Amino acid sequence: MKIYISSMRKEKRSMRQTKAVISMPSYKNFQSKNAKHKNDRFDVNEPAFNPAVEARGIQESTNFERNLNKYIDFVSWARWNPDLWWDLITPETGGIRLDMDQRVFFRSLARFISTYGVFPRGYGKCQSGDTLLFTNEGIKELGEFFNFASHGKEFYISSNINLVNRHGQLESTNAGVYSGYQPTKKIITEEGYEVENSLNHPLLVMNKRGCLEWKISEDIEIGDYLAINRNNDVWGNKTDLNIDMDSYLNDFSNSSRWKVERKKCNIIKNLDEEFGLILGYLIGDGCITRNYSICFTNTDEDIVENYKNFMENRLGVVVKPKKDYPIDYLINSRFVREYFKQIGLEVADSFNKEVPKCVLNAPKKVVASFIKGLFDTDGGLSNTYIEYCTASKKLSKQIQTILLNFGIMSTRKKRYNKQYKTSHYKIMIYGKNMDLYLKHIGFSCKRKQVKLVKLCEKKRNPNKDVIPYQKELINEFCASIKHKTSYNYRIRDKVYHVLKGDNQLTYEKLKYLISLDDSSECKGYEELVEFFNLNYFFSKVSDIKNSNNHVYDLSVPNSNSFISNGFVSHNTLLEVMGMYHTAIFFPDIELSMTAQTKENAAKLVNEKHREIIKFYPLISNEITSYRYSKDTIEANFTSGGRIDTLANNQSSKGQRRKRLNVEEAAQLNAALFDDVLEPVVNVPRRTIGKQALVNPEELNGQINFFTTSWFRGSDEYERNIEMVKDMAELKGKIVIGSDWQLACSYGRGETKSQILDKKARLSPTFFAMNYQSRWVGATDGALIDMNKVMDLRTLVKPELKGDGKSEYIVSMDVARSESQNNNQSCIVVFKLKRNKNEKITQIKIVNLINLPNGLNFTAQTVELKRIKNMYNAKAVVVDGNGLGSAIVDEALKETTDPLTGDSLGCWNTINNEREPELEGAEKILYDLHAQGINSDIIINFIDMIESKKLQLLEKRQDSGYDVSDADYFKNNVLPHLQTDFLLEEIANLKMKKLPSGKYTVERVTKKIDKDRYSALAYGLWYIKQFEDKNTKKDKKKLIFLYN
């Protein structure tokens, strides 16, 4: 096995990058005692100890033997102090800064036979929704991927979105998060580039030592240089226009429609360069404030000619100048105006104009034509720069970002007009960026194009395009090249002011230096080349403002960065560094990561693997092969060590490994762990040979557990308690963990105010488990064993409608208030399975629906009847107590669907004499009154859990859905989440015995209601009554009740 230790210019830039190779023994014999005690070792000089190490000469052999004891000490030290070993191999410009709690975590893994870690969830590092991203589908706003969610409740998405990363390459995301309404920082640079981030979102800056580093937004200061990426040149390819004029016309009556159709136009359904130019004209000089006309104002004959030719020849509409103002060209047509609306030119004044989405998603040439049209109309040239002016702040930011995609840097300034008391924004393009504008865009207006060509012929000063704080590096480089034959004093004169610190290093001078003969042999050459290849524009921060906004983030696992409004942004994932450390320092060891499924485990390890390789590139030298597929990973190391993945289920039975890391351990039950996982590590590592000894100093059979907290009374809660006792009795186990405050104190994750804001908005149980690391729910007097409830979560996916042959029951608990956020009406859908004797053998909860707050009783009844019809339910159970009686009243009336106008029917009760509105109404409604039978309902609920007849939707282990598909989220993700909330409610209930001998339930935390539990319990009670009747073969009553 080899460890490559590289020194990457530690403190002084004058140190050339070096690589030392240390050969490490293969440890084919494990008879040695504790590696810390070198004097007790008796195997190190045996030939079998390390046959893989071969000397390449007498001198090397002598050196190896002379330093062997030192090397043994080093290995022992590295095993015992894994965090310091990671520090040792950390590159100067990479790696991860380890805080004290993280160091404790690493050392616990290395020193204890079993570690139980309970930690809060990760924290989002987010940006505002209007942040522009460069993707393979064009330029998009970050909020688009989250439907610009603004409800304040955090949620996750999993989408393969190809974004430009910090290296100018496309990279796929693997997750995203909406983090709600949070405090933010608006950061504005001297050139007018602007980004709005959450306080902990990192941006790439050039520090005063001349090195690139990540700095969180809260720590950004005025004067900092932010890295802006201009190596993008990534465009969309969509040219199809989604036009549906038929639906628009169908909204008119026959008497009105003909008036609209008589001024129809040709329907162009593809966006080309000419169309892009016209859209630029209209955003620039078009009046689009009305619903029935478009007015275009311009005096340049060539521009007017282009406009009229397109409108008349391609669209087929007449363009007429106004009689009283002949430079205004008017099209009076509702049809034409609607057509342009559907393209993206909504009704807007000059302050609210923006780039149509069809342009943002279009190919490069179309976008170039659009920008050309904008600058033709609202742009111009001075004697030194190109300029563009707009009253719209959003449009100005969009244009500056689009120019960046062409590699064009610009300056955006806000100007105030005292006469009209309004502000406008001016974009200016200077220096060599004008050459790029001429090359990629230009003007269609001939007089402006001629002036641009002449302007580009002039010599310009490039001193704005600099790499700051490189005085020390350039001095080292020049001192080194001075000893080369190619050196002459003209080189020093070229960079004299940089050497003195009077000027910053420009890219022009950088190109000159790295092009010199023998420059590749000089100190600092690699760094200079890297700066040149990155080609960042460094923009100085001029203003920082505190704000609040809805924020979002996307996870880019390889580079952990993406380009937003040009700025380089960063995020991080979890780590498996402890496993890699073990695989390197314990030869031939086999370790596994386990999770609820092999797919989840593989995905988790793969994400961490890529991050480790990125931050610690030397680790790649330790890995001989790495294989990843959908449901497995396998990493093989030079030591002979191997890491793979297993699942927390029966499929792992019979597997053998030396150590395990169990992810989300709280989801385990004791029976599964004892039967499947614990035996996996019951095979200690033994020495080769007749003795086959087990090293008593090695952590054989180590199992580590990592999780967020869960419910009290669960098997893992009991394991946690037992391990605390073992820790106190010095049995080699340790329980560690923290709540959100520890990470917050180190500046990791969200700020204290952000977390406390979430506490005010989130479910108390959710916050306690995911942020406070508290095990929640009842222990003494708990309503039910939560392990048994969790075992019922076996349904893979919800059912969105009936299958046409099965029997469904719907049950509803009615909220006691129409305004309480945590007290919503809940509807549970049951699917029944019967045996040949008509006895119910299985009850599946195929959907849970919480109705939105604020719905009146009529609206709630509409939703209830819709759900009944979707499943063709045989019975509907409604809690008729209190406000529930209002639902019953509404259900007994004829109900019309307000969206479709269809009748939803009129219901009749099946258990009392309440009269429906219509004679012959369907007998389907069970008007439940729990007084007097509440104890029976509770006992029946417990019986159903114990009998294992009940099946619940499984816990969704990932967020594998695209938030842009809101219907998919509602129908396929939300039912799983509602089941999570159901378990929270059940865990929060305690059973209390009344003086009468009957039972009731109490809530441990009053803020958590029990609407889902009640709806479930009522439905189960109703079902049990029919099961009893069927058992007694009272089929006549059953038929009567269902008909």
SS (H, E, C) 777-824: CCCCCECCCHHHHHHCEEECCCCCCCCCCCEEEEEEECCCCCCCCCCC
Rg, C-alpha atoms of the chain? 35
Among 152-156, 604-608, 823-827, 871-875, top mean pLDDT goes to 871-875
Bridge partners for 807 per DSSP: 832
**pLDDT band (50, 70, 90) for residue 994:** confident
Q: What is the largest CA-CA distance in the chain?
A: 110
- Segment 730-785, tens digit of pLDDT: 999 999 988 888 877 776 766 676 677 667 666 676 778 778 888 877 666 788 88
**3-state helix vs strand vs coil in the chain, percent to 5:** 35, 25, 40
* Residue bearing the bigger pLDDT, 724 or 155: 724
Is CATH 1.20.120.1150 the right assignment for the domain spanning 786-1042? no
Residue 751, pLDDT score: 65
- Record the tokens describing residue 424, joined without a space: 């406008």
Q: Are 184 and 128 in contact (CB under 8 A)?
A: yes
Locate 330 and state its tokens.
């008017």
pLDDT surpassing 70 at residue 1029: no
Contacts of 382 (CB under 8 A, 6+ apart): none
Residue 212 bridge partners (DSSP): 206
Strands 114-118 and 702-707: parallel
CA distance 348 to 288: 6
Residue 873 has pLDDT above 70, yes or no: yes
Residue 664 reports pLDDT greater than 50: yes
Q: Which residue did the predictor score with more confidence, 129 or 882?
A: 882
User: Which amino acid, 180?
Assistant: G
Phi-psi region of 355 (alpha: psi -120 to 50; beta: other; left: phi over 0): beta
699 vs 661: CA distance, rounded Å:
13
Question: Average pLDDT for residues 188-203, to the nearest whole number?
Answer: 86
Bridge-partner residues for 106, per DSSP? Answer: none
CB 643 within 8 A of CB 605: yes
pLDDT at position 189: 93
386 — pLDDT class (breaks 50, 70, 90): very high
DSSP state, residue 1035: H
Average pLDDT over residues 974-993: 88
Residues 6+ apart with CB under 8 A from 20: 4, 5, 6
Sequence-separated (6 or more) residues with CB below 8 Å from residue 245: 267, 335, 338, 339, 342
Residue of 31 and 126 predicted with greater confidence: 126
Burial of 602 (0-12, 13-18, 19+ CB in 10 A): buried
Most confident of 454-468, 950-964, 1027-1041: 454-468
Q: Where are the alpha helices (DSSP H) in 90-130?
A: 100-111
Torsion, Cα of 386, 387, 393, 394 (10° steps): -40
Fold of the 245-456 domain: Endonuclease I-creI (3.10.28)
Residues 139/360, Cβ–Cβ less than 8 Å: yes
Average pLDDT over residues 595-617: 82
Q: Considering Cα of 151, then 156, then 160, then 161, what sign does the dihedral take?
A: positive
Least confident of 1-15, 397-411, 997-1011: 1-15
Most confident region among 2-6, 812-816, 864-868, 964-968 by mean pLDDT: 864-868
**Domain spans of the chain, in order of start:** 2-113, 127-229+537-570, 245-456, 466-534, 786-1042
Check residues 56 and 861 and name the one with the higher pLDDT.
861
Side-chain-side CA neighbours of 539 within 13 Å: the count stands at: 25
- Assign 525 a pLDDT band (cuts: 50, 70, 90): confident
The SS3 call for residue 830 is strand
> Is residue 887 within 8 Å of 861, Cβ to Cβ?
yes
* Extended strands (E) in 837-978: 840-850, 875-879, 895-896, 903-905, 907-909, 922-928, 950-953
Kindly indicate the confidence band of residue 816, based on its pLDDT and cuts at 50, 70 and 90.
low
- The overall average pLDDT reported for the chain is 81
State residue 930's pLDDT score: 79
On the question of pLDDT at 571 being above 80, the answer is no
Report helix, strand or coil for 706.
Answer: strand
The share of the chain scoring above pLDDT 90, in percent, equals: 38
Count CA atoms within 13 Å of residue 765 on its CB side: 25
Specify whether the CB–CB gap between 521 and 482 falls below 8 A: no
Residue 956 structure tokens: 């969704």
Q: Report the alpha-carbon distance of residue 291 to residue 763 in Å, rounded.
A: 46
Q: What percent of the chain has a predicted confidence (pLDDT) above 70? A: 82
**pLDDT higher at 55 or 895:** 895
Provide mean pLDDT across the span 191-198.
88
The contacts of residue 878 (CB under 8 Å, 6+ apart) are 811, 812, 814, 864, 884, 887, 888, 891, 925, 926, 927, 928
In the three-class reduction of DSSP (H, G, I as helix; E, B as strand; rest coil), residue 197 is classed as: strand
Give dist(CA 577, CA 82) in Å, integer.
Answer: 9
Q: Which of 183-197, 590-604, 630-644 has the lowest mean pLDDT?
A: 590-604
**Rounded to whole angstroms, how far apart are CA atoms 853 and 873?**
25
CB crowding 989-1017: b at 16 or more within 10 Å, else e: bbbeeeeeeebebeebbeebbbbbbbbbb
Q: Where are the alpha helices (DSSP H) in 799-912?
A: 857-871, 884-891
- For strand 505-506 and strand 466-467, is the pairing parallel, antiparallel, or unpaired? antiparallel
φ, ψ for residue 533 (rounded to 5)? -70, -40
127-229+537-570 — its CATH code? 2.170.16.10
Least confident of 31-45, 340-354, 925-939: 31-45
